Chain A
Amino acid sequence: MPKHIVRVILLLAGGLALGLAAKWYFTAESFYEFGHYRADSVAEIAAQEPAFKTARYCESCHAERHAQWSANNHKTVVCEVCHGAAEGHPQKGKLPIPADARKLCTLCHEKMAERPRTQPQIDLAQHGTGQQCTVCHNPHAPKLAGVVAKVAGDAAAGGKKHAASCAGCHGANGISPNDTWPNLAGQNAAYLVRILGAYKSGAQTDVMMSPVAQTLGDGDIQNLAAYYAGLSCKAPASGKAAGDAAAGKVLAKNCAACHGETGAGTNPAWPNIAGQKAVYLANTLKAFRAGLRKDPMMAGVVRGLSDADIANLAAYYAAQSCGKKP
């Protein structure tokens, strides 16, 4: 074979060998292992950290809240839908409690023809008069039915029962003579029915109240509630409270969503606390904190309160004028 042809062949062969060597060298180690791709990339993708941690992760610390949520209608809406992804929590700080419930809740509950009819929907113009949804609904147990007890009692019969069984402690006009027992005059009837029912059933206990409530029939409870709700709550000013009302006012902002700015709430299922006895209020808050009184909403709210905070709150609410705000 002529020399120049041999040289060309050698050159081409050399180039080919060099090219193959380069391809071999630069191709990732795991390429072609399963196919025309880099097998290592699968493990790299699988190694990313999940941002959403699931409700089970939340439960490990927030068991009480989790139990309430998982027993109620919102159990299909996992924690991280409203509170955001839990990645980095608790190490990097708290997760947000949604500030604008009306904006958040209406993502699912704004009435739209496109939504399936099985979805509970509200007409924004007619529902809630522009208030935050959380004023009436507990987002972890949103359904109100059954919470607002129906009251259809006879106030006159309730008055007789009151004189016979309750006036000794709660005062002839439902205004208690001392600071430890609550005023009942002007209290929400639905709340009274609920709380008396709780004493009767044993869901809530008190050395004084439990034996009394157990003697009451369902009709008595209805009558009493109607009677107290109709009384005037105007009470003589009690002695100076231990706490600082001004400091209490700042704290009370956290309670305003349910109890109203001055302690007169909008939902009849919850008690009016404006003008209530300071010592009673403080004792009740401490009972919630200690778990003696059981209410998932209150338990969460009072957890972070110190004794001084409680005294200040009690002083603030005790100093407010009772009854609904004009």
Chain B
Amino acid sequence: MKREAISALRARRGFLRKIGVAGAAVAAGSTAVLRKVAAKSESAAAQKSFPTADYDWTKRKWAFGVDANKCIGCLRCVEACKRENNVPLDAHHFNTWVERYVYLEGEDKPRIDSQQDPVNIAASGSEGEYRFADRYKGAKVEKAFFVPKLCNQCEHPPCVQVCPVGATYKGADGVVLIDAKYCIGCRYCVQACPYGARWFNEEKGVTQKCYWCYHRISKGLQPACVEVCPVGARVFGDRNDHESPISLFIRNNRVQVLRPETGNEPNVFYVGIDKAVS
């Protein structure tokens, strides 16, 4: 009986000691928590404009146009994009790319290749440079054209829907962005995109894609691919501005979008493509 009482006392003493330690830890932690509370009550919305002092994303509605009638397949856009956005210089990772559709006489289906085709890489001389090889020289080409492709920044983006951690989202100005710090590299979004616009950066462990050079457009510049395009095949602008290049492009042309049946409502508008392009 006495022995039991002593062991009970010991147990109580041990318990109290633990409580004390935990209390001290809570006291130390509470200052951190208080700091956190203070930080959380300061909202970013309190700024005059978001996300930066010179750029208010609620005032813009960006859109992109591609005129395949003008594209000459020089691939300066692809190289500029790689440089601007630090995309690995290999034949497997592209924010934007260009496809070539060639209908030879007597064939119903187009032959399709892009700059990453081994024949084209052989013509360019390295995986970090891009050029289309003149591979249909001498063949009877009935119809042929180039089609630049990029992220469509869909109105209802499936990639955003499937992200389990809120690492990708659609901004108020219409651009679908990726938070590299929150991305856990699960690659659901890569699977979800019907356009193959997303790719996985194995080195950084995050998904990447075209974001219309958000760091440029939020500073009043054009996306790098639009900036370097020598023939005006790429058009960019603000749909809220009725006279912007993209508003004029959409108004003055019979534009179409890729895979309208998905209901994603892309914001890249095409001219001069046919039904083989998707």
- A residues bordering B, Cβ < 8 Å? 25, 28-31, 33-52, 54, 76-78, 80-81, 84-85, 107-108, 110-116, 119
From 211 to 232 in chain B, residues with beta carbon under 8 angstroms from any chain A beta carbon are 211, 213-216, 218-219, 221-222, 224, 227-228, 230-232
Q: Give Cα A66–Cα B168 distance, bound, in whole angstroms.
A: 41
Identify 11 residue pairs between A and B in the complex whose beta-carbon atoms are under 8 Å apart, listed by A's number: A37-B166, A45-B214, A47-B52, A49-B215, A50-B215, A50-B221, A52-B83, A80-B227, A111-B134, A113-B102, A114-B102
Whether B171 sits at the interface, judged by CB under 8 Å, is yes
> Given A52-B80, A108-B72, A116-B70, do A46 and B51 touch, yes or no (CB 8 Å)?
yes
> Given A80-B228, A114-B100, A115-B73, do A41 and B215 touch, yes or no (CB 8 Å)?
no
A70 to chain B, nearest CB (A): 14
B131 touches A107 (CB 8 A): yes
B182 touches A48 (CB 8 A): no
Q: How many A-B residue pairs have CB under 8 A?
A: 140
Instruction: Fill in one digit per residue for B170-181: 1 if any A CB lies within 8 Å of its CB, else 0.
Output: 011000010111
Among A40, A41, A49, A50, the most chain B Cβ lie within 10 Å of the Cβ of A41
B80 touches A112 (CB 8 A): no
A54 touches B221 (CB 8 A): yes
Q: Which chain B residues border A110 with CB–CB below 8 Å?
A: 134
Total interface residues in chain B, CB < 8 Å: 62
A116 touches B141 (CB 8 A): no
Q: Give Cα A29–Cα B181 distance, bound, in whole angstroms.
A: 14
> Given A29-B40, A50-B215, do A43 and B51 touch, yes or no (CB 8 Å)?
yes
Q: Give Cα A274–Cα B128 distance, bound, in whole angstroms.
A: 42
Whether B270 sits at the interface, judged by CB under 8 Å, is no
Q: Give Cα A10–Cα B6 distance, bound, in whole angstroms.
A: 29
Among B132, B167, B213, B227, contact of A112 (Cβ-Cβ < 8 Å): B132
> Given A108-B74, A114-B100, A116-B70, do A81 and B166 touch, yes or no (CB 8 Å)?
no
Instruction: Fill in one digit per residue for B129-165: 1 if any A CB lies within 8 Å of its CB, else 0.
Output: 0011010110101001110000000000000000000
Q: Give Cα A129–Cα B42 distance, bound, in whole angstroms.
A: 69
Chain B: CB-nearest residue to A107: B74
> Given A107-B131, A114-B145, do A77 and B230 touch, yes or no (CB 8 Å)?
yes
Q: Which chain A residues border B40 with CB–CB below 8 Å?
A: 29
Per CB-CB distance, the 5 closest pairs between chain A and chain B, nearest first, are A41-B179, A48-B215, A37-B169, A113-B141, A114-B144
Q: Which chain A residues border B141 with CB–CB below 8 Å?
A: 113-114
Instruction: Fill in one digit per residue for B34-57: 1 if any A CB lies within 8 Å of its CB, else 0.
Output: 001001101111000011100101
Q: Besides the contacts A36-B166, A54-B221, A113-B139, what 13 more A-B pairs have beta carbons closer than 8 Å?
A: A34-B45, A37-B167, A37-B168, A42-B51, A43-B51, A46-B52, A46-B55, A47-B215, A50-B219, A78-B230, A107-B76, A108-B74, A116-B71
B44 touches A40 (CB 8 A): yes
Chain B: CB-nearest residue to A31: B166
A38 touches B179 (CB 8 A): yes
Whether B117 sits at the interface, judged by CB under 8 Å, is no
A112 touches B211 (CB 8 A): no
A39 touches B72 (CB 8 A): no
Q: Give Cα A85–Cα B216 distance, bound, in whole angstroms.
A: 14
Whether B240 sits at the interface, judged by CB under 8 Å, is no
Q: Which chain A residues border B22 with CB–CB below 8 Å?
A: none
Q: Which chain A residues border B244 with CB–CB below 8 Å?
A: none
